[in-house]
Structure 1
Amino acid sequence: MDNRMFMIARDDWSLHRKGEIDQERHKRKVKEAIRHNLADLVSEESIIMPQGDKVIKVPIRSLDEPKFRYNYQNEPQVGQGKGGTQVGDVIGQSGQGDAEGPGKGGHEAGDQPGEDYYEAELTIDELAELVFEDLQLPRLKPKAAPDMMIDDIRFDDVRRQGMMSNVDKRRTLFEAIKRQSLGGGITAMPHAAAAQSHWASPGEPATGAAGSATGPVTITGDDLRYKTWEDIRRPQSSAVVLAMMDTSGSMGAFEKYVARSFFFWMTRFLRTKYDNVQIRFLSHSTEAKEVDEDSFFTKGESGGTRCSSVYELALRILEADYPPGQHNAYVFHFSDGDNLDSDNPVTVRLANELLERVNMLGYGEIRQHVYGGKQLWEAMSSLTSPAFSRSILKEKEDVFKTLQAFFGEELAS
């Protein structure tokens, strides 16, 4: 009798994926931290400035390996806290009073250890992808004669005529085998052997795989098959965006920085997500003028403010270059709200004229230390068109809020 004993065991292969699981968990934590800090990151000076860094550093809480945490102080502990905990959350807390604890900025020094943080790096493109994921041009409509854009080519057909560079070798060989098999000149070739056959020019024998029982395969001109392609086209509605900024003397460093931050992300958003969008830059003090992109983001002016001048220029540009039936038009104006009292009614009248021909008019007013409403803001409140949207920016973090207000999904319809 055979008394040999055997042991059957099975590996827990889930343990081999621990590194992969930890890596995915790390990526989720990084994205969560970035989304939580989007408002701060969007207004980061190193990103907005023309010569700014191309890599952004985001503080991320370190993820510790699971381990037992001992209660050295013998303090009473109950369960896992108040609920709502997630993987990686610190459950055990010191029972000391408020007099002791980890040190924090702006407070007295503490005597307890804190949490470890490290800085994760991401590029501007990676940050932009998160910023733009829920943004789109509102009320974008197909026009009478949309431009046709070629996105790609796709090989999706086989024909008897074409260029030799586009010969489909597998199908050509199959046609040659099929023809000779029907004529009795060759035995059937297995699929695997056909895949390993040696390719030859038309008229020369193409031998089968080594050791196969197939005879030589002769390819004729009638056997040749060519791949053909088609252009993948999609209609792309034409759109123009007018970026208008107050550059008068009342616009201080903070106001200009916030306005430029918004327009920086707006232009990047439009060029990332839309292929057929034109952006034109207008600046104004008492007089409005069209400027190039570099001047728009770097140069300022002095003097008074007459906002109606830029609305009048916008109307002239749209009437001359962008017929309503062929283009979607968007206008965004940023100012500190300081405008000539006598000019406010004129500005509102011109804004109403713009609203009759544009998909959207957005007005952003920058107030750093002003808590009451300015007269231009109050005058703009008379605009009741659904195509009009406005936002107040009191701090840098409001740039992201305004992007969502002007390009959010709720305005898409």
Structure 2
Amino acid sequence: MASTSRHDWSLHRKGPVDQARHNEKVKEAIRQNLPEIIAEESIITSDGKRLVKVPIRTLEEYRFRFNPNQGKRVGQGDGDSKVGDVIARARPGGQGGGGTQPGDQPGVDYYEAEVTVDDLAELIFEDLGLPDLRPKSTQEIPTEEVRFTEVRKKGPMSNLDRRRTIMENLKRNARRGMPVLGNITNDDLRFKVWEQEMRPSSSAVVIAMRDASGSMGEFKKYITRSLFFWMIRFLRTKYQDVEIVFITHHSEAQEVDEEAFFKMGESGGTRVSSAYKLALEIIQERYDPERWNIYPFHFSDGDNWSDNDNRLCVELVGKLLEVCNLFGYGEIREGGYTSSLMSAFSAIKDPRFVIVTITEKRDVYPALQKWFSRGGMAVG
């Protein structure tokens, strides 16, 4: 009679562990390609709820394979190789083919991973925060903080605690006289359980200013909306009750609602100082610096009306810095020129005036990182 007692049932238990490893590799692949991914138009124009398809390079399992760069060979015996020896390397000089040209090497396989905008936001925002957020005398906003509170035997694979899982496997095998890692079962799996706690943090207002003049072409308009899309999503994800003021300007500035801020067309000339004057008026009327952390952010192509207005802008930025934690100016360029406004701003040496220059889509993510770095942030 055939016996099945020696069958290795551990092969059937590797699914959860392999799934967790695969999910982590997908996350890492997305993380490495965030500069390209977050500026995709399909994401910016989405409602923020639907699935987004992200191209990911195929994640292959390690396996032995024949060396395609050598001819047919037959051999036997132990050979003279040692542990750690490199068996073979990819042959340089092979051609994979590009455009209409043929090649003799295999291509790189890609597949489309479906992720939600929330999944992307989690990866984008994991190391970001409002810089220099200070405790104020009154009015606080609760901030979400994730804490791992306990460990359980069941849970989603995304919360798998690898270290404790390995320890449980080693302990179980040691009890059987085999103190080695292997044959992981569902009984070995351990999962972190986390809770979202609300803790008080200082109140904050962000003043978002957008150049809506006629010189802001399609690319500049798209980059501006892309940056503000993620900025606003970041603020509302991390800080539950942060206030956001929306200002658009051409030769005149006006406060608008969020929908108009994103959808308003571009026309007219440019007088940047009008936006800064309005921001100062709003701060004086509604946001006492003793009670509020204040963060103005402005996007423009720097194509301002006159040198006189540039000098006025420098003066107004100085006044804003007297009452603000940080002022972020983003200039969107098509080409290598430096605007007259940027040249004027070079005279401002205050480290709280943070400038980013954007020339292509992949600059969006570094801009967010530069403005919302956790470094130096004092949270109350």
* TM-score (norm. length: structure 1): 0.69
Find the partner of 1:102 among 86, 96, 99: 96
| Corresponding letter in the other structure for 1:21 | V
Asked if 1 retains the 8 angstrom alpha-carbon contact of 2:250 and 2:267, the reply is: yes
Q: Does 1:350 align with 2:319?
A: no
* Counterpart among 130, 134, 138 of residue 145 in structure 1: 138
Which has the greater radius of gyration? 1
Report the alpha carbon displacement of residue 23 of structure 1 after superposing the two structures with TM: 1.1
Q: Report deviation, 1:108.
A: 1.1
Q: Which runs of 5+ in 2 are unaligned?
A: 74-79, 145-196
What's the TM-score, normalizing by structure 2? Answer: 0.75
How far the C-alpha of 1:13 sits from its partner, in A, is 6.8
Query: Which residue in the other structure is 1:28 paired with?
Result: 24
Partners of 2:88 and 2:376 in 1: how far apart? 42
Q: What amino acid is the match of 1:333?
A: H
| 8 Å contact kept, 1:69–1:92 | no
Report the secondary structure of 2:266's partner residue: coil
| Equivalent pair of 1:143/1:325 in contact (CA under 8 Å) | yes
Match of 1:196 in 2: none
For 1:72 and 1:122, the matched residues in 2 are separated by: 36
The one-letter code of the counterpart of 2:24 is R
> How much does 1:109 deviate?
2.0
Once the two structures are superposed, what CA deviation does each residue of 1:154-211 show, in whole Å capped at 9, x if it has no partner? xxxxxxxxxxxxxxxxxxxxxxxxxxxxxxxxxxxxxxxxxxxxxxxxxxxxxxxxxx
Q: Which residue number in structure 2 is paired with residue 377 of structure 1?
A: 342
Corresponding position of 2:243: 278
Note the alpha carbon deviations across 1:376-400, whole angstroms, 9 max, x for none. 1111111122211000000011111
1:305 CA drift (Å)? 0.7
> Contact 2:141–2:242 (CA<8 Å) still a contact in 1?
no
Residue 128 of structure 1 is aligned with which of 113, 121, 130?
A: 121
* Residue 235 (str. 1) matches residue 228 (str. 2): no
% same residue: 51
Whole-angstrom CA distance in 1 between matches of 2:237 and 2:88 = 43
70, 83, 105: which one aligns with 1:112:
105
Distance 1:148 1:287, change over 3 A: closer
Equivalent residue in structure 2 for 1:260, among 225, 237, 250: 225
Alignment of 1:2-401 (within 5 A): 15-49=11-45, 54-71=50-67, 74-75=70-71, 93=90, 95=91, 98=93, 101-104=95-98, 106=99, 108-147=101-140, 234-339=199-304, 340-369=306-335, 371-401=336-366
Residues 363 and 144 (structure 1), Cα distance of their counterparts in 2 relative to 1, 3 Å cut: same
| Matches of 1:76 and 1:10, distance apart in 2 | 37
Equivalent position amino acid for 1:134 in 2:
D
When residues 373 and 12 of structure 1 are mapped into structure 2, their CA distance, relative to the original with a 3 A threshold, is same
Counterpart residue type for residue 105 of structure 2: Q
Amino acid at match of 1:351: V
Give yes or no for contact 1:45–1:52 (8 Å, CA) kept in 2: no
The 1:282/1:117 distance shift into structure 2, 3 A limit, reads: same
Deviations 1:126-152 (A, max 9, x none): 00000000110001111101337598x
Aligned-residue offset at 1:10: 7.7
Query: Shift in Å at residue 19 of structure 1?
Result: 1.9
The answer on whether the counterparts of 1:237 and 1:276 sit within 8 Å (CA) in structure 2 is: no
- Structure 1 position 351, deviation (Å): 0.5
2:143, 2:201 within 8 Å by CA — same for their partners in 1?
A: no
Give, in whole Å, the separation in 1 of the partners of 2:364 and 2:140.
Answer: 32
* More off after superposition, 106-115 vs 250-259: 106-115
- CA distance change for structure 1 residues 73 and 291 in 2, over 3 Å: closer, same or farther? closer
- Contact 1:236–1:276 (8 Å) recurs in 2: no
Aligned length: 316
Q: Structure 1, residues 341-386: CA drift from partner, whole Å, max 9, x if none?
A: 22001010000000000111000000022x1321111111111222
Higher relative contact order (CA 8 A, sep 6+): 2
When structure 1 is superposed on structure 2, of 117-126 and 295-304 the one drifting more is 295-304
Q: Distance in 1 between matches of 2:198 and 2:48?
A: 37
Letter in 2 for 1:362: G
Asked if 2 retains the 8 angstrom alpha-carbon contact of 1:47 and 1:53, the reply is no
String of CA shifts for 1:25-81, please: whole Å, max 9, x gaps: 21121011101110111111011125588222122233445543123663599989x
Give the match's secondary structure for 1:364.
strand
Q: Is the 8 A contact 1:46 1:53 kept in 2?
A: no
Distance 1:92 1:62, change over 3 A: farther
